[in-house]
């Protein structure tokens, strides 16, 4: 708490006046461009690595950057994630949802361990909200990972895109650069796109290209940001060599 209070004093001294001006500027006409889902990990600072500012994005964070599939709700959609999508995409007409996973994700490392039936037992879930959260809402990612493992991590996976009739192919870490847990993290990030498309209140927007879904992945220890390319069928590093190609793809697939 000492660090937080000192940070507030530094903000008052160095940042407050500038930020208030930005708040005033967007007060009457905010135009956020994306709803950005990411993990609560303290190393993930999305406004910094996307260089976005006040009023640019709605940022939603939870353990493992998970958006629960709508099938988990029998009647009412009662969690934060669908509420955030409604507020962003329906109320504020935001046209892009971004899901950003990352390397060395502690929630995903735990999800990997949940392959052990004793570790994932009901008794253990009762004493661990994190295990219960992942067992309830992220097992579809683990199942996809096990499909990949059965092919010696070499065959592509197929994910649903904006509608049940639209699908995309994904090769996960074809260069074998990352750990098994990081491969699972990339799969989990892509699985959330399928989960987003399960919500009926977004159906028409997705079908008519008024709403677009994207996946990013942050490699914490190199600082590189990867964007999933449907054309390349893999996560591609966002750098000087790939930027123009990724931008062209965004205009092709998402315009």
| 89 belongs to an annotated ligand binding site | no
Q: Could you give the angle at which helices 106-113 and 129-137 cross, rounded to 10 degrees?
A: 70
| 39 belongs to an annotated ligand binding site | yes
Structure tokens at 153: 């991590």
Q: How far is CA 82 from CA 53, 78, 170, in A?
A: 24, 8, 25
* Eight-class DSSP state of 89: I
| 135 belongs to an annotated ligand binding site | no
Write the CB contacts of 238 (distance below 8 Å, at least 6 apart in sequence).
Answer: 224, 225, 226, 227, 246
Contact 153, 65 (CB under 8 A): no
| 102 belongs to an annotated ligand binding site | yes
Binding residues: 39, 41, 102, 105
Binding residues for Zn(2+): 39, 41, 102, 105
């Amino acid at each position: 708490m000492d660090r937080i209070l000192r940070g507030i004093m530094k903000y008052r001294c160095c940042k407050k006046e500038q930020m208030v001006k930005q708040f005033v500027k967007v007060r009457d006409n905010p135009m956020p461009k994306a709803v950005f889902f990411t993990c609560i990990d303290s190393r993930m600072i999305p406004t910094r690595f996307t260089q976005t500012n006040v009023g640019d994005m709605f940022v939603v964070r939870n353990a493992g950057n998970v958006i629960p599939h709508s099938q988990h709700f029998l009647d009412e959609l009662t969690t934060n994630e669908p509420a955030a999508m409604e507020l962003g995409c329906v109320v504020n007409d935001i046209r892009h949802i971004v899901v950003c996973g990352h390397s060395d994700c502690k929630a995903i490392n735990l999800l990997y361990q949940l392959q052990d039936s004793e570790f994932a037992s009901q008794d253990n879930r009762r004493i661990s909200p994190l295990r219960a959260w992942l067992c309830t809402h992220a097992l579809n990612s683990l199942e996809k990972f096990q499909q990949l493992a059965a092919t010696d991590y070499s065959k592509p996976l197929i994910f649903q895109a904006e509608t049940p009739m639209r699908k995309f192919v994904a090769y996960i870490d074809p260069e074998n650069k990352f750990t098994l847990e990081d491969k699972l993290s990339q799969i989990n990030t892509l699985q959330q796109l399928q989960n987003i498309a399960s919500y009926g209140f977004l159906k028409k927007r997705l079908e008519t290209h008024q709403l677009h879904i994207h996946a990013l992945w942050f490699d914490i220890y190199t600082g590189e940001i990867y964007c999933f390319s449907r054309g390349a069928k893999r996560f591609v590093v966002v750098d000087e060599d790939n930027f123009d190609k990724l931008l062209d793809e965004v205009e092709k697939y998402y315009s």
